[in-house]
């Protein structure tokens, strides 16, 4: 099971055969979902592409984004497990658990979210591995998590004055998701959340590096922002 899931993660992270169509003004641009996505420039946080798939209990998410802050700031936000709620209010609790007896750096997250009036809670203890300013990887410990398998990867690459951020997640969730929540509904919900998250990452990454001189485009996403979407779930 673990070997199969690891293979699935590798395929998801490197997949280049699928595409996402996104509307940019009046022109439709196709982005390939993989590390080979074209390197684009932007003036503020921008979700370049997003893909979601589900097969029974296996969920896969792949995305790419541009963050108008250098990798050092983005990396600082992604690895601050005492304040992950800054990225998404789906995170109700997170903690840095330090290094265990096996030398693994462990972190904890507790997420809660609702879609179509159906709410779920997900807790994970994960092994965190990093390459400073360029790679953040987590692998869940099944016996201490609400998942059978989960692996995520954030890849950061300097692009102009900002950061190209590629994300991949493969997870096997062992709780039931009702059929009323179809793939399209779940994909749209996750994509909206990804858009909000990258704007928040940019806001806090900017503050990590430059203090109060935040870009005007991000001034409305601080901790005081109380966003909800039409389904009533938190961003």
Q: What is the pLDDT of residues 68-82, one digit of tens each?
A: 999 999 999 999 999
Q: Which fold has domain 2-218?
A: Alpha-D-Glucose-1,6-Bisphosphate; Chain A, domain 4 (3.30.530)
The residue among 95, 35, 41, 33 whose CA lies nearest residue 67 is 41
The domain limits of the chain are 2-218
Q: What is the pLDDT of residues 72-120, one digit of tens each?
A: 999 999 999 999 999 998 999 999 999 999 999 999 999 999 988 889 9
Q: What is the pLDDT of residues 186-203, one digit of tens each?
A: 999 999 999 999 999 999
């Amino acid at each position: 099971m673990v070997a199969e899931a690891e293979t699935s993660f590798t395929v998801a992270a490197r997949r280049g055969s699928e595409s996402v169509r996104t509307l940019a003004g009046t022109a439709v641009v196709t982005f390939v979902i993989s590390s080979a996505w074209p390197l684009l420039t932007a003036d503020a946080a921008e979700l370049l592409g997003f893909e979601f798939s589900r097969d029974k209990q296996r969920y896969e998410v792949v995305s790419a984004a541009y963050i108008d802050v250098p990798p050092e700031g983005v990396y600082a936000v992604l690895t601050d497990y005492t304040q992950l709620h800054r990225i998404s209010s789906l995170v109700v609790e997170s903690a840095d658990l330090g290094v265990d007896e096996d030398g693994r750096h462990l972190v904890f997250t507790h997420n809660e979210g609702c879609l179509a009036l159906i709410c779920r809670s997900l807790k994970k203890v994960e092994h965190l591995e990093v390459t400073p300013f360029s790679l953040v990887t987590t692998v869940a410990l099944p016996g201490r998590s609400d998942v059978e398998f989960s692996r995520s990867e954030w890849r950061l690459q300097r692009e102009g004055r900002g950061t190209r951020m590629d994300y991949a997640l493969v997870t096997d969730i062992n709780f039931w998701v009702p059929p009323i929540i179809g793939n399209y509904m779940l994909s749209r919900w996750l994509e909206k959340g990804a858009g909000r998250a990258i704007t928040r990452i940019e806001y806090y990454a900017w503050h990590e590096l430059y203090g109060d001189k935040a870009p005007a485009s991000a001034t409305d996403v601080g901790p005081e922002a109380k966003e909800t979407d039409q389904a009533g779930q938190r961003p």
